[in-house]
A and B are shown apart, each in its own frame.
Chain A
């Protein structure tokens, strides 16, 4: 008989199934590390439950990780919606969630309207140029960029661009200085008073000085480095320098003594010592500093844009305040949420980078 024994077949299948399940769970557990980095920790219990793990235990975890935050947000929205209309200002009542959402749609509609206008502009330009070519005046053909007002999205983009440029500049300055301060007592003694004095200075105090210097030294005003862009970026740099500098110095100074001794035994030169030894062991603290710096930079940028009238989200808030229309408050609240959400995302990005680059015990 060549019939297959059904019992042994079933056992084989069960084994295979069990193995698959085990593999699935290892994968989920592996993914969990990534979910945590990305702030999606609640995905793990959901996936586990879907894969057939004990649902009761998972439900509790899902409630902790997803249910509670969502309930808190819902409570916040209800409270906001109930209390806001009670506060009367000269621009009408404080807008509730519904009115703010309406402005989100409004801003998006404005964006679409602007896009349409831009397309029309290029159509007109093409028609004009075609006519010129037909008339044999190729030399008069002009291609010019559209000159409309910036949309909400382009203002967000400008702000992000500015903060990253300023932050990059700050990193380039702060990390080497921090390493120097961490490695050498003399450098530390020299830098310390300067850091202590400039660290608490508000961006609003730097701004006029930066404005005057940039206006005086930057000649051309077009291209990527327009004056207003540089002014806000440099203000961001000046204020976001310090957390990176201090944390780098601290990280470098607190290297394991044994490691330093090893480097002495191996007669490493300074460069190798920095790249092979100092940087890897100081990296977690350097990243902590960078994360703080980017957060500070984002806060500073909004203030700088507001005061210096540089394009971006800060100017959007100020313009709306000046407009004083019945929609202004709701639009400003849209900006507040945008600023908050972007700040949160920036922090996540830094956290992810930190997890990728450091070899801490957590991972």
Chain B
């Protein structure tokens, strides 16, 4: 009798224990948007592995047509949150494009992008690329592209390339690569938002999944996009990726998970619960040296998620990257979801995006260093992240050692060796960083008409 009572007591204690961990979420039916890219993986995994359900969340994942539709969905409330370009919450908050206060408690991944040119351009570029053992030496600088662009200019043909959104990582990465090779990617001004003022290479927007088709149609000669759309070009035999963003800037921050500030304010526990589920998904993706990646590839290849063939997705998700057809190389960190504190929303990452907006004129006027810090802190929310992480550690679902508990939100400065043009980056000194970049606005410079003044 006593034994039975004890048993009953212990089972109730156990079950109530398990439920005590569950946060009291304010809103439990949520709809999240995503774009068909492999870096949406944490969302698919959190859904399919039941991490959302474990938090008492009932989530619908919905593919969106392009980044603009997705952002409007989050601002308008049709979407409760979304897989976003890191630049989107920042641009929306400072009012570049649609103005709305968007915050992010979770950074989704590091790296994962590439720059691809069409076969036609690659043939012409190839003679300027140094070779070793019959294979081109990577990373390939845009200096090899410069003579090709000159040739097109002399023939009076505009040299067009695609990126996915004006404030996308891809726009800034493509610009960084071009500028590092001495090519001018063009400025934005408050009057002219095409971003083609004084440009050698004209950049325009194309949604990620349409990139290969648009290049095949000849509208653009190359593009910068996330996976699987670079590998897709290789598989279709229509283009050659020339550089990955890992080679451009080692472990650069990529997508974030964005929610509107008002949603987070009204539903604080929901925000923490969502972050918990996403952290668990990120841990799963990188666990045991990427052991689960093949399973993730199978998930992503389903038509409701990314939908591309699993071989195409697997190419980059499993630590390799295929440049020219057959030239497959090891890039173990091409997709990083959890290692190196990938999921922590660092202020320094936000500041880097803001410096690039300033560099190309999207932020028209000079801002003091304190402004960069202030904006970064209003958008990136490591406090929510750390609270979610604390819950997970307490529940035994994550390791204490995996989280930067004492960080002030700024990463150690990126050393010169980790960046393609050897220019170091320190998030605490954005204006000094801007001064150190040879091409781009600095100091009090502004773009007036077609010229840089000041």
Contacts and interface: CB of A to CB of B under 8 A. Distances in A.
Given A90-B236, A221-B78, A324 B19 contact: no
B50 to A, nearest CB: 8
A323 B237 CA distance: 17
B60 interface: yes
A325 B297 CA distance: 14
B209 A323 contact: yes
Interface string B64-84: 110001000000111000000
A106 to B, nearest CB: 9
A360 interface: no
Interface stretch (A17-25, A71-79, A143-151, A237-245): A143-151
- Size bracket of the B interface: 35 or more
B58 A145 contact: yes
Nearest to A92: B236
A135 B308 contact: no
Given A124-B53, A147-B59, A221-B78, A320 B15 contact: no
A147 B80 CA distance: 14
A134 interface: yes
B64 A309 contact: yes
Contacts, number: 74
B58 A221 contact: no
Contacts of A108: none
B307 A325 contact: yes
Interface stretch (B107-115, B298-306, B328-336, B363-371): B298-306
Nearest to A150: B304
B65 A309 contact: yes
B58 A227 contact: no
A231 B435 CA distance: 50
B443 interface: no
Given A135-B16, A144-B58, A227-B78, A309 B69 contact: yes
Interface in B1-49: 12, 15-16, 19, 28-29, 36
Contacts of A124: 50, 53
B307 A319 contact: yes
A131 interface: yes
Interface of B: 12, 15-16, 19, 28-29, 36, 50, 53, 56, 58-61, 63-65, 69, 76-78, 207, 209-210, 212-213, 216, 232, 236-238, 301, 303-304, 306-309, 312
26 contacts: A90-B212, A90-B213, A90-B216, A90-B238, A91-B236, A110-B303, A134-B15, A135-B12, A142-B28, A144-B28, A147-B59, A221-B78, A309-B65, A322-B307, A323-B303, A323-B307, A323-B308, A324-B209, A324-B212, A324-B213, A324-B307, A325-B301, A325-B309, A325-B312, A326-B309, A331-B303
